[in-house]
Structure 1
Amino acid sequence: MSVVAVRHGAVTYGGRHVLRDVNFEVTTGQVVAILGANGSGKSTLVRTILGLVPLAGGEIDLFGTPRARFRTWARIGYVPQRIGAGSGVPATVGEVVASGRLARRGIFRPARAADRDAVRAALEDVGLLDRINDPVTTLSGGQQQRTLIARALAGRPDLLVLDEPTAGVDAASQEAFAAVLGRFAERGGTILLVAHELGPLEPLIDKAVVVHDGRIAYEGRVPEPAGHHAAPGHDHVHPHAEPERPAICVAPTDRMPAS
């Protein structure tokens, strides 16, 4: 079954073409990596798939439904790029993860036992159950990113979308992310992730999609590294200076768009 299908997708910013004639598909159970250099358009592509960036042309289907008519956003868990937890609303780790249940239970319904169980299970999966009552500001960068993954997992999604989950975090956290995503995939989940480099995530990848200058330049098996990336001991932790860093919070606006 098709989970994500993009046909002739195009995005423009201020008259500049950011994505042009993009075509690709993610099917049930696949782990797909969108690769490319900074500025290639890879993050814009996933944000467009999620409806966070408008299409200038083309079509996108989610689970076989045109995105404009898609309503079951609880089926999708989204993990944005690494952020600074201190810039958001003060909250505990458990409160942040619990916000991932909003799309399933609704904003105005009180949390039920199933919601609390899902939060605890997600935190246990990422190895942070013992920090459930701690302020998220006390966590390391890698632990904050694991909290965001737990928030997405708490919603029990069918599709997990991650935007550079390992960027700027230590090697131990990257290994932890790989283990969590591997377990999600083993349970039948579908994963779409954006990465500059894969590191320990590489063994999980079924298909790589390389974006260059707003177009799909390659689609297939993960390409072999070249140049300095292939050198022994090359550090796969790179700083990323994307302009947007949304604050971590438990506000209802953190949900997927309604259309």
Structure 2
Amino acid sequence: MSAVAVRHAAVSYGGREVLQDITLDVAAGQVVAILGANGSGKSTLIRAILGLVPLRSGSIELFGTPQRRFRQWARIGYVPQRMGAGSGVPATVGEVVASGRLARRGIFRPSGAADRAAVQAALEDVGLLDRIGDPVSTLSGGQQQRTLIARALAGQPELLILDEPTAGVDAASQDAFAGALRRFGAAGGTILLVAHELGPIEPLIDKAVVVHHGRIAYEGAVPEPAGHHGDPGHDHVHPHAEAERPAICVAPTDRMPTR
């Protein structure tokens, strides 16, 4: 069974078609990376899969159930782009990660020993257990992003969906992400992630899907970047004409820019 099955999906914003005729399968236990330039539609695809934006046409199934009837959201962990935690959220690292248990236990049940153990295990997995009592606003950007991954892992999902988890974070956090994802996958978890640059995550990828102008332009092994798209300073923003051949923008590990 596919963990995610997208069939001929289309999404429009204000009359503008953002995704067109997207068909995609993510098999259980697979690690799939969605790649592409800024504005290509890859983050919109993730949000459509999660039901955060409506489809204009087509269908999506999660674990064999039509998305509109899917209710087992504890089976899915979501890591959005960067955390707003540094901007005035009065919570500790442990409290943020503990919120990842709500879908599993329900909001009206108090936390128990299993919840506390899951929070500690998730923080240990991303290398932040020693910061469990610290205000999340005191963390670096990379540590905040690791906190978001720990929050998703604490819910003990079967499918982990991540939207550019390594964008703009330090090398230590990139390595911590890769280690946590490797262990999650080794335990049978399914991973679907959006990325510009894979860095240390690249060896984990089973399938790459390149989105270009709202359509899937490529599906297969992680492609090598072509020409200037592989240069360290390339910003991956492509206002190309529709007729131009799609640029596949994936920075390999040895060209990962230091941030």
Same fold (TM over 0.5): yes
Q: Percent identity?
A: 80
Mapped partners of 2:174, 2:181: distance in 1:
11
CA displacement, residues 98-157 of structure 1 (integer Å, 9 cap, x when unaligned): 000000010111001100100000001011011000000011110000000000000000
Partner of 1:55: 55
Partner of 2:81: 81
Partner of 2:192: 192
CA contact (8 A) 1:167 1:239 kept: no
Partner of 2:137: 137
Q: Cα offset for 1:239?
A: 9.6
Counterparts of 1:82-231 in structure 2 under 5 Å?
82-231=82-231
Q: Cα offset for 1:229?
A: 3.9
CA displacement, residues 163-219 of structure 1 (integer Å, 9 cap, x when unaligned): 000001112211111111011001110000000111111100000000000000011
The runs of 5 or more residues in structure 2 that have no matched partner are 238-259
What amino acid maps onto 1:86 in structure 2? Answer: G
Q: Cα offset for 1:2?
A: 0.6
Equivalent pairs counted in the alignment come to 237
What amino acid maps onto 1:46 in structure 2? Answer: I
What amino acid maps onto 2:139 in structure 1? Answer: L
CA contact (8 A) 1:168 1:239 kept: no
Mapped partners of 2:173, 2:196: distance in 1:
16
CA contact (8 A) 1:28 1:190 kept: yes
CA contact (8 A) 2:93 2:147 kept: yes
Partner of 2:26: 26
Q: CA RMSD in A?
A: 1.4
What amino acid maps onto 1:29 in structure 2? Answer: G
Moved over 6 A (4+): none
After the TM superposition, which of the residue ranges 77-86 and 32-41 deviates more from structure 2? Answer: 77-86
Mapped partners of 2:179, 2:15: distance in 1:
42
Q: Cα offset for 1:63?
A: 0.1
CA contact (8 A) 1:9 1:57 kept: yes
3-state SS in 2 of match to 1:89: coil
3-state SS in 2 of match to 1:87: coil
Q: Cα offset for 1:11?
A: 0.2
With normalisation by structure 2, the TM-score equals 0.89
Partner of 1:250: none
Partner of 1:255: none
CA displacement, residues 37-74 of structure 1 (integer Å, 9 cap, x when unaligned): 00000000000000001111000000000000000000
The runs of 5 or more residues in structure 1 that have no matched partner are 241-259
What amino acid maps onto 1:220 in structure 2? Answer: G
Mapped partners of 1:4, 1:111: distance in 2:
30
After the TM superposition, which of the residue ranges 155-164 and 195-204 deviates more from structure 2? Answer: 195-204
Mapped partners of 1:58, 1:239: distance in 2:
29
With normalisation by structure 1, the TM-score equals 0.89
Mapped partners of 2:118, 2:127: distance in 1:
14
